[in-house]
């Protein structure tokens, strides 16, 4: 019995079983079922390995940053934060993810919210956020899975509806929805754009930018450059003695270089694993949703809107990243207990998408102001829940996305009100 309990409570095995059930339900061949199940398990183990690598690099960064600046620096990366949580909360997180998938389909079937959320990486991160909040309030594993799964399913179906009026304007149809948990921010950017509605014809697409800015479209290169900058600034500030102690036999000026690329390599490994196991899990649910949920629409990742205003994406990246840097300055000046360090890839995808929404209603002015506002929210909202994560041992990275924080903060406050 202990063997069975241990076997089924292993997250990689649990996700593999779900994939297997989905493939069997689609009447796939034995070879396809075996392949899909194995890829799911292998993918999750690759994800865990990447997380371990990133965790080690982040711990070194935190030592350098905190020693050099005498403040606690936190990298805004949901990938890294989820990886940090997997040591203790992997079972609750993966189970919440699975139940959230199922509840998304149920809610889309019985309510007017017909959105099927297919950006499963962000579902994983939100499942982790909900699991951490509920466990911090002393929920049992079973209770955390049930409540977290119900909430994840509801948010997955309902939140894309906030953005749908703007999606119709951007894409010219109602066929797809946005599936990225910054939807409160994207809708807000669209409404901010309306303040500049008389300039809506003066769009970002009339602006010409240098080609070198497209460099940050490469996810890994953007991460590498930012982490190189952060590691070297922190190492130089911490000084030779502290850095050399961490570096061991490596030269202290080479150590930041190695650590920055180690973090990036871990990110690459982690994302490879995420794509592998989520592709199989998603396939298991796609056929079910198509068959049993008429009039549903897929909620897809943000790059689906980039072709409609590609220049807005660059504008949004620059504007939101500037807001993040301003946030760092404000946090340092006012001596915040932690400083949220903006991540280039978060600002690119989230700020860029916010600019597309703002541009649709207010031209380039809406794009700039909307994405700048989203950048400020990405910087300051995570400071509210970070102490809660810290109480669970999740330190050094956090979840910047606006929906994770808006709804996470609300959940945390409600649980406090009810004494839970």
The DSSP secondary structure of 292-305, one letter per residue, reads H-TT-EEEE-GGGG
Beta-sheet pairing, 297-300 with 72-76: unpaired
What are the strands, taking DSSP E only, across 156-203?
A: 177-178
The alpha carbon of residue 314 and the mean position of all alpha carbons in its chain are separated, in whole angstroms, by: 20
Domain housing 243: 2-417
At residue 55, does pLDDT exceed 60? Answer: yes
What pTM was estimated for this model as a whole? 0.80
Could you read off the pLDDT of 246-275 as tens digits, one per residue?
999 999 999 999 999 998 898 788 778 877
Number of independent structural domains in the chain: 1
Does residue 397 have a pLDDT over 90? no
Q: Which residue has the higher pLDDT, 212 or 12?
A: 12
Q: Higher pLDDT residue, 30 or 344?
A: 30
pLDDT tens, 5-28? 566 557 677 778 877 877 887 888
Contacts of 160 (CB under 8 A, 6+ apart): 113, 115, 117, 177, 178, 179, 183, 299
At residue 189 the predicted structure's pLDDT band, cuts being 50, 70 and 90, is very high
Instruction: Please write the tens of the pLDDT for every residue from 103-138.
Output: 998 999 999 999 988 777 889 999 999 999 999 999
pLDDT at 96: 94
Is the pLDDT assigned to residue 174 strictly greater than 60? Answer: yes
Determine the average pLDDT of the residues in 49-53.
81
| DSSP-assigned states of every residue in 131-160 | HHHHHHTT--HHHHHHHHHHHHHHHHHHTH
């Amino acid at each position: 019995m202990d063997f069975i309990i241990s076997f089924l409570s292993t997250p990689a095995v649990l996700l593999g079983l779900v994939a297997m059930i989905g493939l069997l339900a689609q009447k796939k061949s034995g070879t396809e079922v075996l392949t899909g199940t194995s890829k799911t398990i292998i993918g999750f183990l690759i994800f865990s390995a990447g997380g371990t690598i990133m965790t080690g690099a982040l711990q070194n960064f935190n030592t350098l940053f905190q020693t050099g600046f005498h403040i606690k620096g936190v990298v805004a990366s949901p990938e890294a934060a989820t990886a940090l949580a997997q040591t203790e909360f992997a079972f609750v997180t993966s189970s919440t993810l699975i139940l959230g998938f199922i509840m998304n389909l149920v809610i889309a079937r019985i309510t007017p919210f017909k959105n099927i959320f297919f950006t499963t990486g962000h579902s994983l991160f939100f499942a982790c956020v909900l699991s951490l909040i509920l466990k911090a309030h002393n929920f049992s594993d079973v209770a955390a899975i049930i409540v977290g799964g119900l909430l994840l399913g509801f948010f997955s179906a309902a939140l894309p509806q906030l953005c749908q009026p703007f999606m119709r304007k951007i894409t010219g149809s109602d066929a797809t929805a946005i599936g990225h948990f910054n939807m409160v921010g994207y809708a807000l950017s669209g409404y901010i754009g309306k303040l500049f509605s008389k300039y809506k014809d003066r769009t970002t697409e009339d602006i010409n930018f240098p080609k070198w800015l497209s460099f940050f479209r490469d996810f890994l290169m953007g991460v590498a450059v930012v982490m190189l900058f952060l590691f070297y600034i922190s190492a130089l500030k911490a000084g030779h003695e502290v850095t050399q102690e961490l570096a061991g036999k490596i030269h202290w000026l080479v150590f930041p270089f190695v650590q920055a690329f180690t973090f990036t390599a871990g990110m690459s490994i982690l994302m490879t694993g995420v794509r592998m196991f989520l592709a199989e899990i998603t396939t298991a649910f796609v056929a079910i949703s198509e068959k049993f949920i008429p009039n549903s629409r897929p909620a897809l990742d943000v790059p689906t809107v980039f072709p409609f205003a590609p220049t807005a994406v660059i504008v949004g990246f620059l504007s939101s990243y500037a807001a993040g840097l301003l946030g760092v300055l404000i946090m340092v000046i006012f001596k915040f207990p932690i400083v949220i360090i903006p991540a280039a890839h978060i600002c690119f995808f989230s700020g860029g998408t916010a600019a597309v929404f703002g541009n649709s209603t207010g031209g380039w002015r809406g794009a700039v102001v909307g994405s700048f506002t989203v950048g400020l929210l990405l910087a300051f909202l995570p400071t509210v829940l970070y102490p809660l994560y810290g109480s669970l041992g999740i330190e050094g990275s956090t979840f910047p996305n606006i929906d994770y924080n808006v709804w996470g903060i609300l959940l945390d406050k409600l649980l406090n009100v009810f004494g839970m």
